[in-house]
Amino acid sequence: MSLEEPRDAKPEIGVTDDGLDYDALAALLGDTLLDREDHVTTEGFVVRPDDVQDALRTLKQEAGFDHCSCVTAQEYQDRYESIYHLKKYDDPTHELSVVVPTSRDDPVSQSANDVYRTADWHEREAYDLVGIEYEDHPDMRRILLPETWQGHPLGRDYDQTQPQVVTLREHANPLQEDHMADDTDTMFINVGPHHPATHGVLHLKTVLDGEQVADVEPDIGYLHRCEEQLCQQCTYRHQIMPYPDRWDYTANLINEWSYARAAETLADIDVPEYAQVLRTMSAELSRMAGHFLALGTFALDVYGEFTAIFQYAFRDREIAQDILEDLTGQRMMHNYFRLGGVVWDLPNPREEFFEKTRDFLDDLPAKLDEYHDMITSNEIFQVRCVNTGVLEPDVAKEYGATGPVARGSGIDYDLRRDDPYGYYPELDWDVVTEDGCDNYARVLVRMQEVEESAKIVEQCLDLLEDWPEDERTLQSNVPRTIKPEPDTEIYSAIENAKGELGIYIRSDGTDKPARFKIRSPSFSNLQALPEMSNGEYVADLIATLGSLDIILGEVDR
Amino acid sequence: MTGPLQATTLPETLSGLLGLNTNDPLQWFLAALIASALVGTLMLTNTALVIWAKRKITAAFTDRIAINRVGPFGLLIIVADAVRLLSKELIVPDEVDRPAYDLAPLVLASSALLGFAVIPMGNGIQIADPETGLAYVFAVASLASLGLVMAGYASNNKYSFLGSLRAVAQNLAYEIPLVLTGVSVVIFAGTLRLSEIVAAQSETLFTLGGLAIPSWYAFVNPFAFVLFMAANLAEVGRNPFDIPEAPNEIVAGYMTEYSSVYFVLLYLGEFIHVFLGAAIVTTLFLGGPAGPVLPGIVWFLIKIWAVFLFTQWTRSAVPRVRIDQLIEIGWKGMLVLSIANLVLTAVIVGVLV
């Protein structure tokens, strides 16, 4: 499948037939540009901390970088640095990093919130974990750690053994204030952290006006497990790979690909074709498992807790997981990918595996019909889901929404096709989009994506069956210790079940990354929740949350 | 036209058996007390069975096995669950409105039980048979709304509060169509006395291949039957109208702050209500305890369990509507339909009879 041509009629600055012309982009920024850095897949444009908004606005409006994928913050010996990873929804291979250094004494930088709404949460995270402050930010608070936390854990000076002494005064019950005002009819209510509908530990600070949502603010961080810092303490070769399974814990295996892709590009490692096919097949099985769960829990939110669909969805997810267990030896924490390939071949006897997987695929159309009977064609379901939780495409882009959420809003964006990796370009499948922008459209997208995944798995099975026995190379030659050149920086992303899962790695010449940053799709998608649910009914807030299909393990990392 | 089925009420029969004097108020009271205890025990036992049955039924709908460890078919789970629930700590949150908080579970459970006093269950099991039977049963059944408001308002919890407000809004919206549809049956039968309504359904409507189809009002007026079933679902708060407790939205609604015995009472009360709804449906539309071969009480139990099964079915398969949609269906849909049904019935009965 070839790359799509950018659809805009107006030519964007810097776009040429063979990639981006960074000189033209540099010329566009003019004096704002201080320096240019070479990153592995793109270039880094260094700008002054008080020129951030101007530079980003120019790049967004003139050069078409409408997708702020991620904001990475890090601390060097002599400076702090925020990196804005920009992309285009029309063509995500057009990448650009905007690097904003700030001094160590006064780490203040201009906020990008005015240009990209998604920068709001990303900058809060940067402040929380690294300690950079952002001027003009609407809400500069901690986001993952508790309000009372002392120090910034990913900063260089942070003492990990330092006790977090919090005075009693600060331990005061945060809910003590009853939020009752004399002159309003609204009611403040905490949805979560422990609530049947949050599917994890999420806290929604909700203000209700009768049954309608006047305001909602997600409060995250309850499942923060320092994944980035954990990865920074591990060696590239083997130790990091088990962690990605724990990010999106409903569709685990795909996440491994994000690290594999980043590290392989960074260390210039080839992956044998046979391993690519295995990767593609297992990733798609995992995506199906994730989408079944998403469907089942969404039904749970709309139907009620004793619904048949939840069990049906789990029944089918089980089959996909069984197959993955046969392949990887694990049901959830697969740890199947290795840098340069996968850990082992299909289980013996191969015929049995093929038969089992084909049975699953053969039964799928009938099962999907059943789902359509039970879910999408149900009139009450349609009344509940059509035109609720509306996310307009331009709002979705502002918030950096990706995956089924973006595709349900009609944004034709899928990294498997647009920024190809693995064996996807050789296979015949389609990117599913729906124009409804509502909860219903997102459900439809997920159900159709299951079909597309089935197509991919089927083609992979054909390939694997016919693969000559002596050419089944599982791993390429990879050095025992990987030590990339110092100060090599890479940001690369893959399409996981929820959207764009990106990894930023900076090396410092050792066998461990100096900075490991995870861009999780659920983090950005969740940020759009207030836009989608303000003014709607409580029931729709819950349904919308379900249709976003966030996984808190991935949001909080 | 008192039918042969319900010649005497249960206290009268008991007085006869025990040799009590029905004219002596004290002895009459004793007979009535024994009769009530019998019927109450029957209904409570019936509801206790729900603990087991509901899980088995839902499991069947959702491709699972469910309880099968304790006792035959897992039946002893009823005992185990009862002990477990009763032995739990009763947690009463701070600043609850004490008398109301404590009374609410009682009001809910008893209001439903009271309704069974006038339901003819066959084999002479009917505690009382007042002339205003149907009005009485609707009246005590709607006492439950009071219990819900008390529970929600007294709990000092916003979820409970939301739940009880939803419950009131819902009950208001659905009680009226429910009663109006019930009245259409009264127009057919010409009486509010439940035993006579049952008796009126014993006549043969038509004969189909040698099989006599009785004139159950479900056959006579299927439209009213469907309407009543739907309104009844809302009245007992089952899918698609289970929004007063909607666990995914408001945790458990008015039940959120209740634990241990109080929770048991609320839970029990809710299911007795489902059965009371089923009993009303059975009496008004399904010929009460009438049926071939088997004794009346067995037929009665079969019929109320069939209606219960229907509520479990919808619970497993039908999405929940939103509160605004529910109110809209109630006031703009069901009310209009039930009035149309009432007027049509009145016209038909007036012209034909």
List CB contacts (< 8 A) between A537 and chain B.
322-324
Q: Could you give the CA distance from residue A359 to residue A174 in angstroms, rounded to a whole number?
A: 54
Q: Do A374 and B318 touch (CB under 8 A)?
A: no
Tens-place pLDDT, residues B322-350:
888 888 888 888 899 999 988 888 888 88
Please report the number of interchain residue pairs, chain A to chain B, with beta-carbon separation below 8 angstroms.
86
Of A196, A303, A384, the CB nearest to B322: A384
Could you tell me the CA-to-CA distances from A269 to A264, A266, A280, B22 in Å, in that order? 5, 8, 17, 98
pLDDT score at A165: 78
Q: Rounded to an integer, what distance in angstroms lies between the CA atom of residue A554 and that of residue A144? A: 12
B325 phi/psi in degrees, rounded to 5: -65, -40
B240 to A380: CB separation less than 8 angstroms, yes or no:
yes
Which of A33, A74, A83 minimizes the C-alpha distance to A54?
A33
Q: A304–B239: do the CB atoms touch at under 8 Å?
A: yes
Q: Does B65 touch chain A (CB under 8 A)?
A: no
Considering only CB atoms, A304 lies closest to which of B63, B320, B324, namely B320
Q: What is the pLDDT of residues A493-523, one digit of tens each?
A: 999 889 999 999 999 888 889 899 999 999 9
Query: CA nearest A381 in B: which residue?
Result: B319
Give yes or no for A434 touching B (CB within 8 A).
Answer: no
Closest residue by Cα to residue B126 from B293, B323, B289: B289
CA distance A411 to chain B (A): 29
Tell me the pLDDT tens digit for each residue of A333-385: 888 998 888 988 888 888 889 999 999 999 999 988 888 888 888 888 888 88
User: Is A538 part of the contact surface with chain B (CB cutoff 8 Å)?
Assistant: yes
Helix axes A52-62, A22-29, angle to 10 degrees: 130
Write the residue in A299, A378, A539 that is nearest to B322 by C-beta. A539
- Mean pLDDT to the nearest integer, A532-545: 87
Q: Amino acid letter at A92?
A: P
Please check whether residue B247 touches A, CB under 8 A. Answer: yes
Of A196, A374, A546, residue with least CA distance to B246 = A196
Spatial CB neighbours of B333, under 8 Å, sequence gap ≥ 6? none
Contact assignment for B62 to A374 by CB distance below 8 Å: no
Q: Say how far apart CA A549 and CA B234 lie, in whole Å.
A: 30
- Residues A413 and A88: their CA atoms lie apart, in Å, by 10
Residue B96 contacts residue A344 (beta carbons within 8 Å): no
Q: At how many degrees (to 10) do helices B260-285 and B296-317 cross?
A: 110
Give the pLDDT confidence score for residue A40 in this predicted structure: 83
What are the residues facing A82 on neighbouring strands? A73, A100
Mutant choice from A175, A186, A206, A306 vs B, greatest count of B C-beta within 10 A: A306
Relative to beta strand A79-87, strand A96-103 is antiparallel
pLDDT digit string, tens, across residues A419-455 = 888 889 888 888 989 888 888 999 999 999 999 999 9
Chain A touched by B172 (CB under 8 Å)? no
Residue with tokens 């159309």: A365
A219 φ/ψ angles, rounded to the nearest 5 degrees: -120, 115
pLDDT for B84 beyond 70: yes
DSSP state of A424: G
Task: Quote the pLDDT of residue B1.
Answer: 37
Q: If residue B342 lies in a helix (H) or strand (E), which one and from where to where? A: helix B335-352
Mutate to test the interface with A, among B320, B323, B327, B328 (most CBs of A within 10 A): B320
Contact with chain B for residue A474, Cβ under 8 A: no
The packing angle between helices B260-285 and B133-154, to 10°, is 150
> Are A40 and A488 a contacting pair, CB within 8 Å?
yes
pLDDT, tens digit, 9 for 90 and up, residues B237-262: 776 777 777 777 777 778 888 888 88
- For A7-21, A156-170, B200-214, B239-253, which range has the lowest pLDDT when averaged over its residues? A7-21
Nearest CA-CA distance, residue B260 and chain A, Å = 20
Could you tell me which chain B residue has the CA closest to the CA of A383? B321
**Is the peptide bond prior to B240 cis by the omega test (within 30 degrees of 0)?**
yes
Q: Please name the residues between 285 and 314 in chain A that touch chain B, using a CB distance below 8 Å.
A: 299-308, 310-312
- Measured between alpha carbons, how far is A533 from A541 in angstroms, rounded to an integer? 5
Is B16 within 8 Å of chain A by CB?
no
Please write down the HEC assignment for all residues of B96-148: CCHHHHHHHHHHHHHHHHHHHHHCCCCCCCCCCCCCCHHHHHHHHHHHHHHHH
User: In angstroms, what CA-CA distances link A374 with A291, A297, A307, A380, A449?
Assistant: 16, 14, 10, 11, 18
Out of A306, A315, A540, closest to residue B63 by CB:
A315
Q: Which residue of chain A comes nearest to B252, CA vs CA?
A: A196
pLDDT attached to residue B3: 40
Distances (CA, A) of B302 to B38, B136, B231, B282, B305: 19, 24, 21, 10, 5
pLDDT in tens, A312-341: 888 889 999 999 999 998 888 888 998 888
Any idea where the domains of chain A sit in the sequence?
15-135, 236-515
Q: Which of B158, B166, B248 sits opposite A189 (nearest CB)?
A: B158
Q: Structure tokens of B7?
A: 């010649």
Of the candidates A301, A315, A380, the beta carbon closest to that of B248 is on A301
Grade residue A182 by pLDDT with cuts at 50, 70 and 90: low
B253 φψ region: left (φ > 0), alpha (ψ -120 to 50), beta (else): left
Nearest Cβ partner for A196 among B58, B162, B247 = B247
Residues making up chain A, counted from first to last: 557
Does residue B120 contact residue B195 with C-beta atoms inside 8 Å?
Answer: yes
> pLDDT value at position A157?
84
**Which residue is closest to B54 within chain A, CA to CA?**
A306
Question: Is B61 an interface residue toward A (CB < 8 Å)?
Answer: yes
* Per-residue confidence (pLDDT) for residue A9, from 0 to 100: 52
What does the pLDDT read at residue A11? 61
Task: Report chain B's mean pLDDT, rounded to a whole number.
Answer: 83
**If you average pLDDT over residues B182-187, what whole number do you get?**
87
Mean pLDDT for the stretch of residues A525-549: 88
Q: Judge: B250–A306 Cβ closer than 8 Å, yes or no.
A: no
**How many whole angstroms separate alpha carbon A75 and alpha carbon A101?**
9
Instruction: Give the model confidence (pLDDT) of B251-309 as tens digits.
Output: 777 888 888 888 888 888 888 888 898 999 988 888 888 777 788 788 888 888 999 88
Are B61 and B316 contacting, i.e. CB atoms less than 8 angstroms apart? Answer: yes
Give the chain A residue nearest B238 (alpha carbons).
A304
Residue A414: closest CA among A404, A399, A400, A423: A404
CB A280 within 8 A of CB A427: yes
Burial string for B238-272 (b: 16+ CB within 10 Å, else e) reads bbbbbbbbbbbbbbbbbbbbbbeebbbbbbbbbbb
Per-residue pLDDT band at A257 (split at 50, 70, 90): very high
Long-range contacts of A332-336 (CB under 8 A, 24+ apart): A332/A245, A332/A249, A332/A252, A333/A242, A333/A245, A333/A246, A333/A252, A334/A245, A334/A252, A334/A253, A334/A256, A334/A282, A334/A286, A335/A241, A335/A242, A335/A245, A335/A256, A336/A253, A336/A256, A336/A282
B324 contact A CB<8A: yes
Which residue from B242, B248, B323 is facing A542, i.e. has the nearest CB? B248
Min Cα–Cα distance to chain A from B201, Å:
35
- Verify whether the Cβ–Cβ distance B319 to A304 is below 8 Å: yes
**Which residue in B238, B249, B321 has the most chain A C-beta atoms within 10 A of its own C-beta, making it the best mutation to test that interface?**
B249
> Is A14 strand, coil or helix?
coil
Instruction: Tell me if chain B has a CB within 8 Å of the CB of A195.
Output: yes
The share of chain B scoring above pLDDT 70, in percent, equals 97
Quick check: B251 and A196 CB within 8 A?
yes
Contact A1, A425 (CB under 8 A): yes
Q: Pick from A197, A308, A315: which is nearest to B248 by CB?
A: A197
Q: To the nearest whole angstrom, how far is the Cα of B213 from the nearest Cα of chain A?
A: 34
Query: Alpha helix locations (H) across A214-251?
Result: 227-232
Q: Binning pLDDT at 50, 70 and 90, where does residue A10 land?
A: low
CATH match for A236-515 among 3.40.50.2300, 3.40.640.10, 1.10.645.10, 1.10.20.10:
1.10.645.10
What is the CATH number that goes with domain A15-135? 3.30.460.80
Whole-angstrom distance, CA of residue A31 vs CA of residue A295: 51
| Burial of A271 from C-beta contacts in 10 A (0-12 / 13-18 / 19+) | buried
Q: Which residues contact A100 (CB under 8 A, 6 or more apart)?
A: A46, A47, A48, A49, A52, A81, A82, A83, A84, A109, A110
ipTM over 0.85: no
